[in-house]
Structure 1
Amino acid sequence: MFRKIVKMNILLVYPNINGQFQIQMGLASISAVLKQAGHRIDLFDTTFIVSGSFEEVSVQFMKRFDEVLAKFKEKVSSSKPDIILVGIRSLEFDFATKLLREAKTNLPVIFGGQHPTVSPEEVIKSDVADYICIGEGEEAILELIEKLESNEDVTKINNIWVKKDGKIYRNPVRPLMKNLDELPFPDWDIFDARHVSTIGKFETSRGCPYSCTYCINSYMQKIYGGVGGYHREKSIKKTIEEMEQFLKKFPQVNYIWLIDETFTLNNDRVKDFCEQYKEKIKDKFNVKFGCMTRPEVLSEEKCQYLKKAGCVEIAMGIEMGNETYRVEMLDRKMTQQSIINAFLMAKKSGIKTYSFNMVGFPNETRKDIINTIELNRKGKVDEIQVTIFYPFKGTSLRDFCEENNLLDLPRNEVGSYYEKPVIKNPNLPKKEVMGLFRTFTIYCKSPKIFWPFIKIMEYDNLVSINLSRIANTFIKQGFKPKAFGIFFDYAYNNVLKVPKLLDKLTILI
């Protein structure tokens, strides 16, 4: 499918300001396609320049920007690329443009990924952008690279917008690749081995068929003409072959995570996958796996297939505990009881459960957040993730925020889902949202007799903030040596250096 041509040197850039440790699958796939076509690929990856917890790493990027910039210049100098390709999500755009602007490489730059897709005008008008790729990029970026190499016209490539001679050429998207089996295996080798560690990440399908209002998938469905064409599946055979090759290359891996948003969508497909996985992966490599799905597409039968095949964790979104709000505002049409039943069903099958939750939705109330906490408690969720709602461009909930003058976005700041609310809410002050964000898991995991004490941790002062961090550490890690190590490391760097804080803690206790 991909014709081999004269080589170009291409530098991929991964501005990973949220500290995601796993391989970035989009760049891995693009790299594999370009390498298969004969190009030389290098990667500048910020992950291990600035590392830390998700909650803290994004703030550190701006504090240590000069260090990142120096390393980027070194990489450009040693790699000698002909072109730079940057993959960005929305929260990475400001950082990436600042990096390129100050590096002054004088090289052509392609932007691809989520943010150019949902906000193409903003990205193409950036002073550091020459080309942007909208939507899936394997075929489009390869076509662009080939035509640049052969000095052909690049202004009419579907999915590609071009800025040339003061004019912007805006092209429509091409039909989605239907047969995902035609893609080569992702290029794992381009990433630092620390990205792999003991976990492998795989996709068995692309595109979620649902339309949650806070998610980019609804926008992707619109630009590609509907739900039916956006969700596509790899063959189980190709997926298993990819896993086998990966595990032979990285024998230390003992866990596989499936990144499909709704893995259990189709009963027959789940059964087929589980049978092949058990035979060719679990029994041969002794590697277990986890997956994501939605409560309404999980069943006892699917849980039995998953458990037998070696599934040890299922992650599902709760997001919001107010059923009316969830259905009408988030377009998540599931009942309270169906959510509870799904988590209990997985737990009954012996599979660990993990929930996704958000706080800080438009016009959300304190009671709504408490209801979200209650759903986690009733579902007896094992592990809980909570993030702060962010109004991503291209989503209908972003449109709602704009129409109702709720946006309160900082300018030129690195942000994350863990940093602070970015919308105005007449029902809930930002400080209260942050307090509930910090204590969300503590409320979920603690007997209600302790709730009055937990409320103290919601307060916006150093004592309460540090108490909540300590409590969250021990809830997540348990009373193990690792937890004590995390606690003492945090205490040394953040508590002991604060004057009189220990005196305040002693008085409070």
Structure 2
Amino acid sequence: MEEISSGGKYIMRILFILPNVDSSYKLSIHFGIAYIAGVLKSNGYKDIRFLSVSNINEYDYVIKEVLLFKPDIVGFTSVETQFTNVINISKRIKEVWKCAIVCGGVFPTIFPECLKDAECLDGVFCGESEMAFFKFVRAIEKGEDYHSVENFCFCDSQSGQIVKNNLLSQESNLDHLGFPDREIFNFQSVIDLQGNAAPFMFNRGCPYNCSFCSNHVLASVYGKRSNSTRKRSVDSCVAEIKDLGSRYRFDIIQIWDDLFTSDRKWLYEFLDKYKSDIKKPFMCTTRSNLCDEELFKRLKEGGCYRVHMSLESGNDFIRNKVMRRNISREKVVQSFNLANKYKIQTNASSIIGLPFETEEMIKETISLLGSLKVDSPGVNIFYPYIGTRLREVCEEYGLIEHERKHNIRERRESVLNLPHISSGKLHYYYDNFEDLVRQKEGILSYLKFKAKAVGRRIAKMILPYNMQNIIRKAKINKIKTENFPVNLES
């Protein structure tokens, strides 16, 4: 370690890296890292930096930053499709700089055996590791052995076996963790790129066990059947929004909890406090089976201008038998109709390219979305995440092309050899999804969609950035007026 002193005390330097190569994940912030950084800073570790790697051509930039920053610890977070990038970057770091290199996130949590292919890593962290990582940092600072730290897994040098340490219990009172740190992400630029919207994540977990989602697998790591929701107090959430409002400029709030509306009592308390103390339009996540008239009425009164409700599939067999969503078509239609009634915009994400799905089933999804008048119909191509029930199904039926598993653009390319639809046809539906949905809405809706798309492209080409900003702000003011038709400063 190179000695850097502050009053005679060595200053630990920690670098977090988010491999995000060719990913559909657009936010340059990671809430898992943000919470860990928050805990570290509250315990005196202030010299923390963050890098997001969106292209393999940025590897050289990472190495340059490592040599400039000279970190004691490099910490990655990774999903399955990004782990190859973790290995590649780690190897290059090891060649030029001596430090501890570890990885956490969903993939190492579910599959710590990934270490067998990653000799460049000193270990991985499993589960929620705010306190475990703090203990790891403190051990390295003191020159102590860190191999016994909870949640840490490593490959024993003599036996070659993966050693998995005991997990710390999940924090039941999330208020104890404090606020996630935003400073390391250059957070104002994140807000600006999101159209003057600040992203938040208050609560953890989802009580549902959809077969394509890793939520239930993460719960099983802790010996649970479902990943039950754990919530911060309403006062803590509102205090965080106020704290950020005092330090950053934003007009809209995005709440990216897995399922924000799962607890009505908590939600209504939040909405009352939010309406009186914050008065900014917000978007949040919900689920069709949780929606009724009262929910949308309260959301609208609280300032909600948009909800994200995943459809996943318009085919009942795929949605409920294959994906285990257990939501009837009637409930789906009712929830979107209610959102439209209360003039709350809707995002509806879908997944195509699933086991047993045919082209006709994809067309059903497009038709249903067209009938729902969705504001933003998004689509992803299915990826069989390790540990999930649908991964087991794909393995059982021999659908996975394993040589392509780590070399695809996740959610934009398929790793499956599907018997009922060709790869070319699947990608046609992915590339033209919204266009096809708008056609189903009718000729006027389709022409309006195309005109807007052309207008956006022309605006980006000919308007200076400050003029584009003026247009964005006008849209934001319209949202404000529609959701808070009173003096916002009163």
Whether the TM-score (by the shorter chain) exceeds 0.5 is: yes
- Is 2:360 the partner of 1:367? yes
Match of 2:17 in 1: 13
Instruction: Compute the displacement of 1:476 (Å).
Output: 7.8
AA in 1 matched with 2:343: G
Instruction: Compute the displacement of 1:71 (Å).
Output: 1.4
Instruction: Compute the displacement of 1:477 (Å).
Output: 7.9
Instruction: Compute the displacement of 1:163 (Å).
Output: 3.1
Instruction: Compute the displacement of 1:229 (Å).
Output: 6.3
Instruction: Compute the displacement of 1:69 (Å).
Output: 2.2
- 2-structure distance, mates of 1:183, 1:431: 47
Residue 220 of structure 2, aligned match among 197, 200, 222 = 222
Residue 238 of structure 2, aligned match among 233, 237, 240 = 240
Match of 2:34 in 1: 28
Residue 106 of structure 1, aligned match among 95, 98, 109 = 98
Contact map agreement 1:94 1:412 (CA 8 A) in 2 = no
Match of 1:275 in 2: 272
Contact map agreement 2:287 2:309 (CA 8 A) in 1 = yes
Deviations 1:341-395 (A, max 9, x none): 1111111111001101011001210111111112212222111110100111121
- Is 2:294 the partner of 1:301? yes
Q: Secondary structure at the match of 2:185?
A: coil
Instruction: Compute the displacement of 1:136 (Å).
Output: 0.8
Match of 1:404 in 2: 397
Match of 1:379 in 2: 372
Instruction: Compute the displacement of 1:91 (Å).
Output: 2.1
- 2-structure distance, mates of 1:234, 1:476: 43
Match of 2:78 in 1: 88
Instruction: Compute the displacement of 1:414 (Å).
Output: 4.3
- 1-structure distance, mates of 2:209, 2:14: 35
Match of 2:433 in 1: 440
- 2-structure distance, mates of 1:232, 1:24: 19
Deviations 1:239-260 (A, max 9, x none): 000010011111x211111111
Residue 161 of structure 1, aligned match among 150, 153, 161 = 153
- 1-structure distance, mates of 2:176, 2:407: 37
- 2-structure distance, mates of 1:402, 1:412: 12
Match of 1:53 in 2: none
Instruction: Compute the displacement of 1:72 (Å).
Output: 1.2
AA in 2 matched with 1:257: Q
Contact map agreement 1:6 1:38 (CA 8 A) in 2 = no
Q: Secondary structure at the match of 1:240?
A: helix
Deviations 1:403-425 (A, max 9, x none): 11100144485433453211011
Q: Secondary structure at the match of 2:60?
A: helix
Residue 142 of structure 2, aligned match among 127, 134, 150 = 150
**In the comparison of the two structures, how many residue pairs are matched?**
443
- 1-structure distance, mates of 2:315, 2:261: 25
Instruction: Sort the Cα spacing of 1:487 and 1:294 in 2 relative to 1 into closer, same or farther, 3 A.
Output: farther
AA in 2 matched with 1:270: L
Deviations 1:171-229 (A, max 9, x none): 23221110100112111111123222222111221011111111110101211222566
AA in 2 matched with 1:314: V
- Aligned ranges 1:294-373 → 2 under 5 Å: 294-373=287-366
Match of 1:262 in 2: 259
AA in 1 matched with 2:119: D
- 2-structure distance, mates of 1:367, 1:228: 33
Contact map agreement 1:6 1:39 (CA 8 A) in 2 = no
Residue 384 of structure 2, aligned match among 364, 367, 391 = 391
Which deviates more, 147-156 or 318-327? 147-156
Contact map agreement 2:254 2:283 (CA 8 A) in 1 = yes
Which deviates more, 305-314 or 479-488? 479-488
Match of 1:504 in 2: none
AA in 1 matched with 2:115: V
Instruction: Sort the Cα spacing of 1:124 and 1:427 in 2 relative to 1 into closer, same or farther, 3 A.
Output: same
Where do 5+ consecutive residues of structure 2 fail to align? 1-8, 464-490
- 1-structure distance, mates of 2:450, 2:210: 28
Q: Secondary structure at the match of 1:249?
A: coil
Which deviates more, 95-104 or 125-134? 95-104
Match of 2:466 in 1: none
CA RMSD for the aligned pairs?
2.4
Q: Secondary structure at the match of 2:257?
A: coil
Contact map agreement 1:213 1:329 (CA 8 A) in 2 = yes
AA in 2 matched with 1:482: R
Contact map agreement 2:220 2:226 (CA 8 A) in 1 = no
Instruction: Sort the Cα spacing of 1:41 and 1:162 in 2 relative to 1 into closer, same or farther, 3 A.
Output: farther
Contact map agreement 1:14 1:43 (CA 8 A) in 2 = no
Match of 1:194 in 2: 189
Instruction: Sort the Cα spacing of 1:179 and 1:240 in 2 relative to 1 into closer, same or farther, 3 A.
Output: same
AA in 1 matched with 2:283: G
Instruction: Compute the displacement of 1:263 (Å).
Output: 1.2
Instruction: Compute the displacement of 1:126 (Å).
Output: 0.5
Where do 5+ consecutive residues of structure 1 fail to align? 51-60, 451-470, 490-509
Q: Secondary structure at the match of 2:207?
A: coil
Instruction: Sort the Cα spacing of 1:485 and 1:95 in 2 relative to 1 into closer, same or farther, 3 A.
Output: farther
Instruction: Compute the displacement of 1:153 (Å).
Output: 3.7
Contact map agreement 1:290 1:312 (CA 8 A) in 2 = yes
Q: Alignment identity in percent?
A: 27
Contact map agreement 1:89 1:113 (CA 8 A) in 2 = yes
Instruction: Compute the displacement of 1:488 (Å).
Output: 9.3
- Is 2:169 the partner of 1:171? no
Instruction: Compute the displacement of 1:158 (Å).
Output: 2.5
Instruction: Sort the Cα spacing of 1:204 and 1:428 in 2 relative to 1 into closer, same or farther, 3 A.
Output: same
- 2-structure distance, mates of 1:382, 1:409: 36
Instruction: Compute the displacement of 1:30 (Å).
Output: 0.8
Deviations 1:434-453 (A, max 9, x none): 11112221121114788xxx
Match of 1:499 in 2: none
Q: Secondary structure at the match of 2:82?
A: helix
- 1-structure distance, mates of 2:245, 2:370: 37
- 2-structure distance, mates of 1:11, 1:476: 44
Instruction: Compute the displacement of 1:279 (Å).
Output: 0.6
Instruction: Sort the Cα spacing of 1:223 and 1:162 in 2 relative to 1 into closer, same or farther, 3 A.
Output: same
